[in-house]
């Protein structure tokens, strides 16, 4: 499943972001090597979400896609795996990292990290339910403290997991701190399966440093890929000694237009103003590192005309666009550890 001659590059799953239109868009601009769906929430009454399923049945990326599950109940999670096996998935991933209180208070996602015995049971059930289907885990390094990671690694080691992705923060650290790259390196040394490093990769250099510091088999990139969909292509070039493509303002404008069109054609009853609101959520990431007024002005647009006029005002140029977001922004913090 992973490339053999260079680090593997995954698009991170992001709820309400990495949906089918986003996958189409990111694949159009080079794309990742592997994808993971937004999570399927699993509980006693749940059925596989039809909209997320379309990322699998209509997978536009021509690359493997893994289905992610989030839940706390081992038999229900195993039932979801049986249902998923009717679809063309390349694996099943268990979410052990979601820091949203509404999720972790129910002991799902990152909340499970407080209950290692329950993780042990769930991993056993899921490994069995997956059979020959690859079974992967995406985890943080602990709930309260990274010291919890030693015990977690022991649990991961005792099940035949095919790949582990580590977002190098605790649940309590959410998204705003540097990542514990030493813990990712520890996982690389301890586990026999490939380990993928995640968190704070915002450009080529930060990705290469994270790989070098940890020895990980690859990278998973989330917010950095919303901001710059060419990041995968840039890292691929860097790791195969090719020239790294530069991104211009106009290329970003083209990306925004493509994302607008792809997202619009998925909405059954297209309402322009509502669509502009959805686009603003992407623009919060895309505008980071550009002129400080860009984010401010885009937040205030009310319709499609204002939206594209504002984007053009800040991006309609042939020069190189800023490679990095600003370090102290609410959305991108702590990445200077890799610069
Ligand atoms: C808006 C948003 C939604 C997310 N949804 C998910 C999700 O559904 N499943 C998951 O495992 N992680 C989810 N994450 C976490 C990311 O996959 C990733 O671990 C995190 O953003 C750190 O990587 P980054 O610094 O490259 O963004 C989400 C993150 C964001 C910002």
Take residue 195 and report the two structure tokens written for it.
């380990």
Look at residue 200 and tell me whether its pLDDT is greater than 90: yes
pTM: 0.98
SS3 call for 108: coil
CA 69 to ligand 1 centroid distance, Å:
14
Nearest-CA residue for atom 10 of ligand 1:
13
Which residues contact residue 271 at a Cβ distance below 8 angstroms, ignoring those fewer than 6 apart?
A: none
Closest CA to 11 of 93, 99, 81: 93
| Pocket mutation for ligand 1, best pick of 222, 225, 288, 327 (most atoms within 8 Å of C-beta) | 222
Distance between Cα 332 and ligand 1 center (Å): 13
Is any ligand 1 atom within 6 A of the Cβ of residue 96?
Answer: no
Q: Which of 9, 10, 11, 13 to mutate to test the pocket of ligand 1 (most atoms within 8 A of CB)?
A: 13
Mean per-residue pLDDT, 110-132: 98
pLDDT value at residue 266: 82
Dihedral, CA of residue 264, residue 270, residue 271 and residue 275, to nearest 10:
-20
Residue 243: pLDDT band (50, 70, 90) is very high
pLDDT digits (tens, 9 = 90+) for 15-65: 999 999 999 999 999 999 999 999 999 999 999 999 999 999 999 999 999
**187: its two tokens:** 């996982």
Closest residue CA from atom 29 of ligand 1: 14
Q: What CA–CA distance (Å, rounded) separates 263 from 248? A: 23
Atom of ligand 1 nearest to the CA of 223: 27
Q: Which two tokens stand for residue 5?
A: 């001659």
Integer Cα distance of 155 and 289 in angstroms: 40
Query: Dihedrals φ, ψ of 219, to 5°?
Result: -125, 145
Q: Distance between CA atoms of 211 and 213, rounded to whole angstroms?
A: 6
Mean pLDDT of 238-262: 96
Task: Give the whole-angstrom CA distance, residue 138 versus residue 74.
Answer: 17
> What is the rounded distance in angstroms from the CA atom of residue 324 to the CA atom of residue 31?
19
The CB of 198 under 6 Å from ligand 1? The reply is yes
Sorted by sequence, the CB contacts under 8 Å of residue 144 that are 6+ apart come out as 170, 171, 172
From the candidate CATH numbers 3.30.420.270, 3.20.20.70, 2.40.110.10, 3.20.20.10, the one assigned to the domain spanning 8-239: 3.20.20.70
User: Do 200 and 219 form a contact (C-beta atoms < 8 A)?
Assistant: no
Average pLDDT, the chain: 96
Distance 175 CA to ligand 1 centre (A): 9
Q: In this predicted structure, what is the pLDDT of residue 42?
A: 98
Residue nearest to atom 14 of ligand 1 (CA): 14
**How many Cβ atoms sit within 10 Å of the Cβ of residue 323?**
15
DSSP 225-288: HHH-TTHHHHHHHHHTT-PPPP-BHHHHHHHHHHHHHHHHTT-SS--HHHHHHHHHHHHHHHTT
What does 137-156 look like in DSSP terms, one character per residue?
EEEES-SS-GGGHHHHHHHH
Give the tens place of pLDDT for each residue, 131-152: 999 999 999 999 999 999 999 9
Measured CA to CA, the distance from residue 24 to residue 26 in angstroms comes to: 6
> Measuring from atom 6 of ligand 1, which residue has the nearest CA?
14
**Nearest one of 9, 130, 113, 112 to 67, comparing CA atoms:** 130
Is 97 a pocket residue for ligand 1 (Cβ < 6 Å)? yes
Output the pLDDT for position 20. Answer: 96
Residue 199 Cβ < 6 Å to ligand 1:
yes
Report the residue among 14, 42, 207, 210 best suited for mutation to probe ligand 1: largest number of ligand atoms under 8 A from its CB: 14
Q: Is the CB of 64 under 6 A from ligand 1?
A: no
Kindly report the CA angle at 228 between 197 and 270, in degrees rounded to 5? 115
- Per-residue model confidence (pLDDT) at position 271: 86
- pLDDT above 90 as % of the chain: 94
Q: 3-state secondary structure string, 304-331?
A: HHHHHHHHHHHHCCCCECCCCCCCCCCC
pLDDT at 270 over 80: no
Closest ligand 1 atom to Cα of 39: 8
What are the structural domain ranges in the chain?
8-239, 249-315
């Amino acid at each position: 499943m992973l490339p053999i001659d260079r680090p593997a590059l995954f698009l991170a799953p992001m709820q309400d972001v990495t949906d089918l239109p986003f996958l189409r868009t990111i694949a159009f601009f080079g794309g990742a090597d592997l994808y993971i769906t937004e999570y399927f929430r699993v509980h006693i009454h749940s059925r596989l979400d039809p909209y997320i399923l379309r990322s699998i049945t209509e997978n536009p990326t021509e690359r493997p896609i893994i289905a992610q599950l989030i839940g706390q109940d081992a038999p229900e999670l195993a039932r979801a795996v049986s249902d998923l096996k009717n679809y063309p998935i390349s694996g099943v991933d268990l979410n052990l990292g979601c820091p949203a209180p509404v999720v972790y208070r129910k002991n799902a996602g990152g909340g499970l990290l407080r209950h290692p015995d329950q993780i042990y049971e769930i991993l056993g059930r899921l490994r069995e339910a997956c059979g020959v289907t690859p079974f992967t885990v995406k985890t943080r390094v602990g709930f309260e403290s990274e010291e919890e990671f030693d015990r977690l690694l022991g649990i991961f080691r005792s099940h035949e997991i095919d790949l582990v992705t580590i977002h190098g923060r605790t649940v309590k650290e959410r998204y705003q701190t540097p990542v514990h790259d030493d813990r990712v390196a520890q996982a690389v040394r301890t586990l026999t399966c490939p380990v993928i490093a995640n968190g704070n990769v915002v450009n080529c250099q930060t990705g290469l440093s994270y790989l070098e510091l940890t020895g990980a088999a690859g990278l998973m990139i989330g917010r950095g890929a919303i901001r710059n969909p060419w990041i995968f292509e840039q890292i691929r070039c860097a790791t195969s000694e090719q020239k790294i493509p530069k991104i211009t303002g106009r290329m970003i404008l083209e990306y925004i237009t493509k994302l607008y069109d792809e997202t619009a054609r998925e909405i059954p009853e297209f309402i322009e103003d509502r669509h502009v609101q959805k686009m603003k959520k992407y623009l919060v990431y895309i505008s980071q590192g550009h002129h400080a007024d860009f984010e401010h002005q885009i937040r205030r647009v009310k319709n499609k005309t204002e939206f594209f006029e504002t984007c053009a005002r800040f991006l309609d140029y042939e020069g190189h666009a800023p490679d990095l977001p600003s370090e102290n922004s609410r959305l991108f913090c702590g990445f200077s550890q890799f610069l």
